[in-house]
Structure 1
Amino acid sequence: MRIMRPRACMLILGVSLVLSPGVIRGQTIGHKLEPYLKSGELPAVAAAVVERGTITEYGAVGTRKMGSEIPVTIHDKFHLGSDTKAMTATIAGMMIEESKLKWDSTLGDIFPELKDSMAADVEKVTLEQLLSHTSGMRADDENLMDLLKNSVDVDGDLNDLRYWIVKESVKLPLVAKSGSAWAYNNRGYTIAGAMIEKVSGKTWDELIVERIFEPFQLTTAGLGCQSSMGKVDAPLGHVKQKDGSFKSYLAGPNADNSPILGPAGIAHLSILDFATWAGWNAGNGTRAPCNIVSQQMLEKIHQPVFTVKGENRPGTPPAGQYAHGWGWVTVDWAPYPLLYHGGSNGKNLAQVWIDKQKDIAIVLMTNISNPKADDTLRKIASELYQDATTGY
């Protein structure tokens, strides 16, 4: 992103993936990460490796604010960006298994009161198309920017504002036949979130806390800017300016995207909590928590839908195949495609790499976003992956 019922599962004995607050297991890898601070021009970087449900390596180095000496810790909250999309897709999977939604539920099905105002064929756009960026709806254009600006004059909670985005967006003609083309679309994920809100009777913001953060014991997870107003109590997002200097952003209206876009990517959490979430996905939901979605549903969420050419912007999917909040990417340091997603709000960057065959997950986060930072996180992922898979 870049815009401004109980199930059988395996309980793991020994080291638990879902760590209690303050409990850390595994080896620290600060020495591996330190060299990348300078070479990648990163204020800070955090990374962790999960192997078969155990966090085996972790580390966080650097500063919360460039030019200062406020060291980051492994408990610091980094922004997740579009890696939030996989959580939204998982909540959608829950709604499907609870028979509140279907993969082929359409905008016309969920919002019948808006049918008369919908442009041609918009009523046929499905939940799956929205979650796979194949809806054919207008994406992150000036119209969406204008809607977000104008939303300040719209009364209501965030679910009301997302419904207003839906109401205004369905009037617009499709730019491509639904299901025939792929275009990264944060508007689409926001609309998918509104569909979830309509059938659940709760805001997406409540649902991600109740259905993801709490069951996974992601104690550092939250929504919006990772730092508090007026405080440098988390890694601040950074931008490298044209003159080569770095600008940091305290919490405020310009530090993160609009909360209306929550389903598309405004979550934050620590590297250890990110590892917990990634490791559960790597194990295909076979480990606790057991009451999220079935293994079959998680496989469906991970299943490729469309082959994409990709984009060059950090935090957007590269070339490969796109699923539902996840992509499959081929890299020269892995023997087969890995499950992947990146996330960025233009000032922070996060990546998750998963080898489902070996049950390994690698997560990385930094508090700056640009092509150099994106490439640097990939280099770290390559090193950590090779170390983790030595001997296989």
Structure 2
Amino acid sequence: MTFTRRPFLAMSAAFAFGAGAAGAAPDGFLGEWFGALDLGSRQLRLKLEVSAGPKATLYSLDQGGAPIPPGETRIDGDRIFATWPVISARYEGQLTGGKIVGTFRQGGALPLTFARAQETSAKPEPLTQEGLAKLRADAGAPALAAAALSRNGRRIGFVDGRRAVGRGEAVTIADKWHVGSCTKSMTATLVARAVEAGAIGWNDTVGQTLGGAIADMRAEYRDVTYRHLLSHRSGLPANVDIAQLIKFPRESADARADRVAYARSALAQAPAGRKEAHFEYSNSGYVVAGAMLESRLGAPWEMLIADRVFAPLKMAGAGFGAPGTPGAFDQPVGHAATAAGALEPFPPGGPITDNPAVLGPAGRVHAPLAEVLAYLSAHCFRSPFLKPESWQMLHTAPFGGDYALGWERRGDALWHNGSNTLWYCEMMFDPKRGVVSAAAVNDGRIGAMAIPVGKALSGAAAAAV
């Protein structure tokens, strides 16, 4: 199992304009159309521009608004079909009642209606216990939890469902949830703590830190710094080869040697793109950063983050890997779909409960949602846990774009999601609104879970403010 995070509509910087089908577009389709993809935690506003050819150019208004060039565009009577190869997306719609009603596909499938006028995005409805239960039931998830906290002290939390399919134990508000790649911002926060302690520097390089252990790393990576690694601007590919990954143990009391071995493999790979200019979401980058921390600070990443991040923030329930005691079902259990489509639980103590321990810095933390809110509050309200300049470093994209150090910026808010293919989680904080929220499900079907979890996340925030 490897971590993935692929937002809708992220696109390449290089455009290759495709030719549309021959013939003129019917007048009913020509011109500008506006719609929005419901991604659960937000609405992604789109503009569709249909011109003669026909040619359907797409604009993601909330992601910079640059034109996304079409590949193939076909119009047949009252139906339109369009593709955008640079983002691996397509749309099929029917003109009816002055609107184009259809389906947008980019990995998953989402309903998408275009209208002539740009509508104001609807505000999320405040979440209730009944609303959360409906989201869970409609998604078919074993359990769903959401919580939020505002600067005025209002706190809400809702849970619904069972810890495992086929079991009777109900989830509780105190249960622990696997946060997947939301761990990344925690690793970045650990780096900030180490910088403030004078143990490392933001601009320490891979070559300086790991050169003695990995003398044969590719030259392109020698000058890569923590800032590159934590913002996915190092040039490193997403992961090492799966055949290499599965050789690492699922659990380890001390994964330092494994992280050096992983880093050696990652740093031997050809770059996915040029440092700083190219964004490549990379679990490997965070493992390399973890190995650098371990090399300089002389302890496993797990011990470092527990002592320097979790303990000061009073996150006593935070841990690593699958939560719970083998055989006890005292915590939620992760689930995946079988080939037949049924959900199968993967309880602790089994052979597969999480990614290998080597991936810890990229995504193996679990915690109760109350403690996740404490962590998010430190970021949102910039507590004395870190100096103002450190918070600013963590929350700023150092080389452009919208990805900071472990966080994706969404307007005034910072957000992230995570999954190890057995769980799915989203968390966010919004300094302008003064609210933090988190939502999680013990179901790894990301395509089916992203929207209900996102709705729980935004609804919880709305209920708390």
Measured against the shorter chain, the TM-score band is 0.7 to 0.9
CA distance in 1, matches of 2:330, 2:346: 12
- Of structures 1 and 2, the larger Rg is shown by 2
The 8 Å contact of residues 284 and 356 in structure 1, kept in 2 or not, is answered as: no
Shift of 1:137: 1.4
TM-score (norm 1): 0.81
387, 395, 408: which is aligned to 1:327? 408
Aligned to 1:364: 439
- Number of the residue aligned with 1:352: 427
Aligned to 1:303: 396
Match among 213, 225, 231 for residue 328 of structure 2: 231
Give the counterpart letter for 1:129 in structure 2.
H
User: For residue 314 of structure 1, what is the aligned residue in structure 2?
Assistant: none
| 2:454 alignment counterpart | 378
Contact 1:120 1:174 in 2 (8 A): no
Q: CA deviation at 1:141?
A: 4.4
Aligned to 1:10: none
Q: CA deviation at 1:35?
A: 1.2
Task: Kindly indicate whether structure 1 or structure 2 has the higher relative contact order, using CA contacts under 8 Å at least 6 residues apart.
Answer: 1
Contact 1:340 1:351 in 2 (8 A): yes
> Structure 1 residue aligned with 2:204, among 97, 105, 126?
105
Given candidates 274, 282, 302, the residue that maps to 2:372 is: 274
What corresponds to 1:90 in structure 2?
189
The one-letter code sitting in structure 2 at the alignment partner of 1:59 is F
Aligned to 2:281: 184
- Aligned residue number for residue 75 of structure 2: none
Shift in alpha-carbon separation, 1:253–1:133, aligned structure 2, 3 A: farther
The CA deviation string for residues 74-125 of structure 1, in whole angstroms up to 9 with x for no partner, is 1111111111111100110112122222222111111232564121322111
> Equivalent residues in 2 for 1:56-205 (5 A)?
56-114=155-213, 116-142=215-241, 145-151=242-248, 157-205=254-302
Deviations, residues 203-232 of structure 1 (Å, cap 9, x unaligned):
111011111221111122111111222231
d(CA) in 2 for partners of 1:284, 1:100: 22
- Aligned positions of 1:45-60 closer than 5 A: 45-52=144-151, 54=153, 56-60=155-159
- Distance of 1:104 and 1:353 partners within structure 2: 27
Asked if 2 retains the 8 angstrom alpha-carbon contact of 1:53 and 1:283, the reply is no
Distance change >3 Å, CA 109–CA 171, structure 1 → 2: same
The one-character-per-residue Cα deviations of 1:225-273 (angstroms, maximum 9, x if unpaired) are 1122223111111113343311111113311011111101101011111
Higher relative helix content: 1
Q: What TM-score results when the alignment is normalised by the length of structure 2?
A: 0.69
Q: 2 CA distance for matches of 1:262 and 1:175? A: 22
Closer, same or farther in 2 for the Cα pair 1:141/1:260, shift >3 Å? closer
Deviation by residue 1:187-207 (Cα, 9 ceiling, x = unmatched): 110110111111111111101
- Mapping for residues 255-270 of structure 1, pairs under 5 Å: 255-270=353-368
Flag the 1:182–1:270 CA change in 2: closer, same or farther, 3 A. Answer: same
Q: How far apart are the structure 1 equivalents of 2:407 and 2:370?
A: 20
CA shift in 2, pair 1:171/1:140, >3 Å: closer
Q: Which residue of 1 aligns with 2:35?
A: none
| Aligned-pair CA distance for 1:60 | 1.5
CA distance in 1, matches of 2:167, 2:293: 42
| Residue ranges of structure 1 left out of the alignment (5+ in a row) | 5-27, 309-320, 330-335
Answer yes or no: is the 8 Å Cα contact 1:49–1:363 preserved in 2.
yes
Q: CA separation in 2, counterparts of 1:246 and 1:103?
A: 43
| CA 382–156 in structure 1, closer or farther in 2 if over 3 Å, else same | closer
Which region of structure 1 is more displaced relative to structure 2, 44-53 or 166-175? Answer: 166-175
Aligned counterpart for 1:216 among listed residues 307, 313, 320: 313
Give how far 1:156 is off. 8.9
Shift of 1:55: 5.2
| Residues 165 and 343 in structure 2, CA contact (< 8 A), matched pair in contact too | yes
Equivalent residues of 2:164, 2:345 under 8 A apart: yes
Asked if the contact 1:115/1:123 (under 8 Å) is kept, the reply is no
In the alignment, the residues of structure 2 paired with residue 239 and residue 151 of structure 1 have an alpha-carbon distance, to the nearest angstrom, of 21
**Secondary structure of the structure 2 residue equivalent to 1:139:** coil
Q: What's the Cα RMSD here?
A: 2.4
Amino acid at match of 2:167: S
- Residues 1:295 and 1:68: Cα distance change in structure 2 (over 3 Å): same
Paired residues of 1:33 and 1:59 also in contact (CA < 8 A):
yes
Residue 49 of structure 1 deviates from its aligned partner by: 1.0
Consecutive unaligned residues of structure 2, counting only runs of 5 or more, are 5-126
1:53, 1:126 → 2: CA distance? Answer: 38
Shift of 1:170: 2.2
> Do the aligned partners of 2:272 and 2:280 also contact (CA within 8 Å) in 1?
no
1:160-201 per-position Cα deviation (integer Å, ceiling 9, x unaligned): 211222233323332311111111111110110111111111
User: Using the alignment, how far apart are the partners of 1:219 and 1:296 within structure 2?
Assistant: 27
Q: 1:116 to 1:238 in 2, by over 3 A?
A: closer
SS, match of residue 371 in structure 1 = helix
Whole-Å separation in 1 of the counterparts to 2:152 and 2:308: 20
* Separation in 2, partners of 1:97, 1:141: 31
Counterpart for residue 294 of structure 1: 387
Is 1:190–1:260's contact at 8 Å kept on the other side of the alignment?
yes
Residue in 1 aligned with 2:87? none
- Seq. identity, %: 28
